[in-house]
Amino acid sequence: MTELFNSFMNGPDENGRFGDFGGRFVSETLMPLILELEAQYENAKTDDSFWAEMHDLWTHYVGRPSPLYFAERMTEALGGAKIYLKRDELNHTGAHKINNVLGQIILARRMGKTRIIAETGAGQHGVATATVCAKFGLKCVVYMGAHDVERQAPNVFRMRLLGAEVVPVTSGRGTLKDAMNDALRDWVTNVRDTFYCIGTVAGPHPYPAMVRDFQSIIGKETREQMDAAEGRLPDTVIASIGGGSNAMGLFYPFLDDESVNIIGVEAGGKGVNAKMEHCASLTGGRPGVLHGNRTYLLQDDDGQILEGFSISAGLDYPGIGPEHAWLHDIGRAQYVSITDKEALEAFKFSCEREGIIPALEPSHALAHVMKIAPELPKDHLLVMNMCGRGDKDIFTVARAFGFDMSGPEGRTFE
Amino acid sequence: MTRIDDTFARLKTQNQKAFVAYIMAGDTDYDTSLEVLQGLPDAGVDIIELGVPFTDPMADGSTIQLAGQRALAGGQTLTKTLQIATKFRETNQTTPIVLMGYYNPIYSMGVDTFLTAASEAGIDGLIIVDLPPEEDVELCLPAQEAGLNFIRLATPTSDAARLPKVLQNTSGFVYYVSMTGVTGSAAVQAVDVKPEVDRIKASTDLPVIVGFGVKTPEAARDIAAIADGTVVGSAIVERIGRGDAPADVLSFVKTLADAAHS
């Protein structure tokens, strides 16, 4: 294999580390499973038939490649950089999540697993997992924080329509991290038939690398599409980050292109300050160990994990993928944060300027685009990953704007 | 030789099995847990597992999770857990204490600082659930160098290929997790566990202690009989959690210890 000496694309090492981050911090019961998964993935990765199946489903089931769209009226309004949107919100199920789910489920089938478990926050990963399980006739159990089950009722109903069992998690405080704890508890109990389909570039090795590889289709397509449109590389790529899978998918193919600025946008909630009402693990946290990997975490002085806060349930996680933690530390990517308020402004801007209702997650990335684009020259090519559509968020947004859609506060249409 | 090694040597001369009890530090509050802790040796406990509360105990069932939440709500920390151990050592120099918990509070304190503080507090061993052999450089090796035992969990998934890796760098004893699952799960049957214990004992000279799913004196007796001892955690913690007086908790512990020793 030819390896670039100074490549940023060689990680993780054989211990699953990106620099000091990553690793395999799991209980002994799970270790043999994780090692088996790693071996099977290494095997699949170099198997043409595996990728042929992926590409066939990406094309015919998901609708890839997703367009790279020149957002002309956004560009005009901001008056600077040329803004392109990578339209991953047009995928089947409405977000980038399915790119990865397909890969893991095909792998699960190759491994003879018959029962799939997943954790979900906003419900997008849960819906994608339930969808692919329905397609292949696999049993699907989704763990979702009880608090999220309440605030994301439409996605809960979607998952149930698709035949999945949705388990509301009441342990801890009933959010995404607790859902992940309960998924791990399920896995440790049902080791023989169950495959744990993790939704982001976090967890024990090999998950961060595997999920990144499956999501990298986003960046690969962007590269080709930008070359076709402009005949060169983009100057800046931007994506929002909760765990960081859509961002890692966009960033990874550009890591070795020095000329490409890479910017990740974390959820700043009510503001990144001592009150910790945010989910900005990199800008407001410090390194620790949770859910199988070492990464930046929101935690107190005793190493207890704090709850994040964000208007976007999909960014509401106190950690971040270990590869982002590494890219942050070595300075290859820049990480910033955007508040709820700024994200809501961007949400409106996208609706009004481009006729695209974005999810609240990419609205964070767009808010940062709105900050920097006006200062950049007109020939600066900027790509933002529009990683999800906003249908799931309209109730939250209506509430935030004080817009009464259906009578009593919080009621939704049947 | 640690207090753990001494304890097993003593039990061997007495031809007795070990009874290990788990309680959560700071549950239901600092004083209650200290009072229970101080009474455990007289109730017949040979080795104490002292739980360190953590917000995200992914290997524990709801009983231990809730205990951790109660402790954290009362302001319990790793530092205060070491204080409880220090207090215990003022009156007891022989009963080993094994800290059981998750890595992040230790990592957050700093491994070197922690090991110094733990040694000073009279801690004898560590069971850190989310540190498998693959991560031995993190804490296992530094802990052994600092004179602490690092006790590993062996599980039903530790097959012939995996077992040597699990046993390497483990010391004090081997904790056999009787089932695939979390703490406090369904009861286990001695007859099912025995072949597994025999399999592990064939590969190590260390004592093998069985835990997870041992809830009653009868189970403690049966499981201890097929191993070198047994651990009870959730059944004790449940009584603490529902507000039983320390004296009542300790008399329950005594019935477990007597059964395991019988």
Domain count, chain A: 2
Supply the pLDDT for residue B187. Answer: 82
Distance of residue A10 Cα from the nearest chain B Cα, in angstroms? 20
**A303 to chain B: which residues are within 8 Å by CB?**
54, 78, 104-109
**A177 to chain B: which residues are within 8 Å by CB?**
56
Q: What angle do CA B106, B108, B111 make, to 5 degrees?
A: 50
State whether residue B227 is helix, strand or coil. coil
- Which strand (E) or helix (H) includes residue A74? helix A72-78
Q: Which of A28, A115, A289 would best serve as a mutation to test chain B binding (most B beta carbons within 10 A)?
A: A28
Per residue in A345-381, pLDDT (tens digit) is 999 999 999 999 999 999 999 999 999 999 999 999 9
A267 and A334 assigned to the same domain: yes
A87 and A138 assigned to the same domain: no
Homologous superfamily, domain B3-253:
Aldolase class I (3.20.20.70)
Q: Which of A191, A304, A306 would best serve as a mutation to test chain B binding (most B beta carbons within 10 A)?
A: A304
Q: Would you say A86 and A66 are in contact if contact means Cβ atoms under 8 Å apart? A: yes
A112 and A128 assigned to the same domain: yes
A251 and A204 assigned to the same domain: no
How large a percentage of chain A has pLDDT more than 70? 97
CB atoms B157 and A191 under 8 Å? yes
**A299 to chain B: which residues are within 8 Å by CB?**
104, 108
Of A361, A378, A383, the C-alpha closest to A200 is: A361
Please state the rounded mean pLDDT for residues A318-339: 97
A225 and A261 assigned to the same domain: yes
Q: How confident is the model at residue A1 (pLDDT cuts 50, 70, 90)?
A: very low
Q: How confident is the model at residue A403 (pLDDT cuts 50, 70, 90)?
A: confident
**B82 to chain A: which residues are within 8 Å by CB?**
none
Q: Ramachandran region of residue A19, left (φ > 0), alpha (ψ -120 to 50) or beta?
A: left
Is A33 an 8 Å CB contact of chain B? yes
Please state the rounded mean pLDDT for residues A184-195: 94
Distance of residue B224 Cα from the nearest chain A Cα, in angstroms? 22
CA–CA dist A207, A198 (Å, integer):
7
Please state the rounded mean pLDDT for residues A208-220: 98
pLDDT tens-place values along chain B, 262 residues long: 889 999 999 999 999 999 999 999 999 999 999 999 999 999 999 999 999 999 999 999 999 999 999 999 999 999 999 999 999 999 999 999 999 999 999 999 999 999 999 999 999 999 999 999 999 999 999 999 999 999 999 999 999 999 999 999 999 999 999 888 888 888 888 999 999 999 999 999 999 999 998 999 999 999 999 999 999 999 999 999 999 999 999 999 999 999 999 9
Would A233 be classed as within a structural domain?
A: yes
A147 and A223 assigned to the same domain: no
CB atoms A304 and B54 under 8 Å? yes
Phi, psi dihedral angles at B214 (to 5 degrees): -100, 115
**B106 to chain A: which residues are within 8 Å by CB?**
303
In Å, how far are A221, A231, A313, A413 from A250, measured between CA atoms?
9, 19, 21, 35
State whether residue A81 is helix, strand or coil. coil
CB atoms B62 and A29 under 8 Å? no
Q: Would you say A324 and A241 are in contact if contact means Cβ atoms under 8 Å apart? A: yes
CB atoms B156 and A33 under 8 Å? no
Listed residues A211, A236, A257: the one ending a domain: A211
Please state the rounded mean pLDDT for residues A239-255: 97
Higher pLDDT, B34 or A276: B34
- Find the CB nearest A288 among B57, B58, B107: B107
* Residue A408 pLDDT exceeds 60: no
CB atoms B55 and A23 under 8 Å? no
Chain B: residue nearest A306 by CA? Answer: B55
For residue A340, the enclosing domain spans: 65-94+216-400
Q: Which residues of B are catalytic?
A: 49, 60
In Å, how far are A35, A133, A138, B61, B125 from A117, measured between CA atoms?
18, 10, 10, 18, 35
* A354: CATH: 3.40.50.1100
Would A83 be classed as within a structural domain?
A: yes
CB atoms within 10 A of CB B17: 23
Please state the rounded mean pLDDT for residues A275-290: 90
CA–CA dist B262, B256 (Å, integer):
10
Of A168-172, A202-206, A329-333, A364-368, the least confident: A168-172
A256 and A318 assigned to the same domain: yes
Token pair for B72: 């954290």
A127 and A149 assigned to the same domain: yes
> How confident is the prediction for chain A on average, in pLDDT?
94
**B182 to chain A: which residues are within 8 Å by CB?**
185, 188-189
User: Strand runs (DSSP E) across B8-166, as ranges?
Assistant: 18-24, 47-51, 97-101, 125-128, 149-150, 152-154
A189 and A248 assigned to the same domain: no
**A288 to chain B: which residues are within 8 Å by CB?**
104, 107-108
* Residue A254 pLDDT exceeds 70: yes
Q: How confident is the model at residue A414 (pLDDT cuts 50, 70, 90)?
A: very low
Of B192, B103, B205, B125, the C-alpha closest to B156 is: B192
How large a percentage of chain B has pLDDT more than 90? 94
- Find the CB nearest A189 among B55, B109, B181: B181
* Residue A410 pLDDT exceeds 60: no
CA–CA dist A319, A291 (Å, integer):
9
A152 and A250 assigned to the same domain: no
CB atoms A288 and B129 under 8 Å? no
Per residue in A45-94, pLDDT (tens digit) is 999 999 999 999 999 999 999 999 999 999 999 999 999 999 999 999 99
State whether residue B96 is helix, strand or coil. coil
Residue pointed to by tokens 């003593």: B10
CB atoms B57 and A181 under 8 Å? yes
- Find the CB nearest A171 among B65, B102, B153: B65
Of A271, A266, A277, the C-alpha closest to A238 is: A266
Q: Which amino acid is at A44?
A: A
Token pair for B92: 């007891």
- Find the CB nearest A29 among B72, B108, B180: B180
Distance of residue B176 Cα from the nearest chain A Cα, in angstroms? 11
Phi, psi dihedral angles at A286 (to 5 degrees): -145, 165
CA–CA dist A89, A75 (Å, integer):
20
Would A7 be classed as within a structural domain?
A: no
A249 and A106 assigned to the same domain: no
CA–CA dist A121, A179 (Å, integer):
8
Would A407 be classed as within a structural domain?
A: no
Supply the pLDDT for residue A6. Answer: 79
CA–CA dist B12, B15 (Å, integer):
5
Residue pointed to by tokens 């090999």: A206
Q: Please report how the helices B217-225 and B190-201 are oriented relative to each other, as an axis angle in degrees rounded to 10.
A: 30
Q: What angle do CA B132, A31, B204 make, to 5 degrees?
A: 60
**B159 to chain A: which residues are within 8 Å by CB?**
32
A181 and A44 assigned to the same domain: yes
Chain B: residue nearest A20 by CA? Answer: B138
| Partner B, chain A 143-182, Cβ-Cβ below 8 Å | 171-172, 177-178, 181
CA–CA dist A232, A243 (Å, integer):
30
- Find the CB nearest B155 among A29, A181, A294: A29
How large a percentage of chain A has pLDDT more than 90? 84
Length of chain A, in residues: 414
Q: Please report how the helices B246-261 and B234-241 are oriented relative to each other, as an axis angle in degrees rounded to 10.
A: 160
State whether residue A288 is helix, strand or coil. strand
Q: How confident is the model at residue A257 (pLDDT cuts 50, 70, 90)?
A: very high
CB atoms A291 and B56 under 8 Å? yes
What's the alpha-carbon Rg for chain A, to the nearest Å? Answer: 20
Q: Which amino acid is at B200?
A: I
- Which strand (E) or helix (H) includes residue A225? helix A217-230
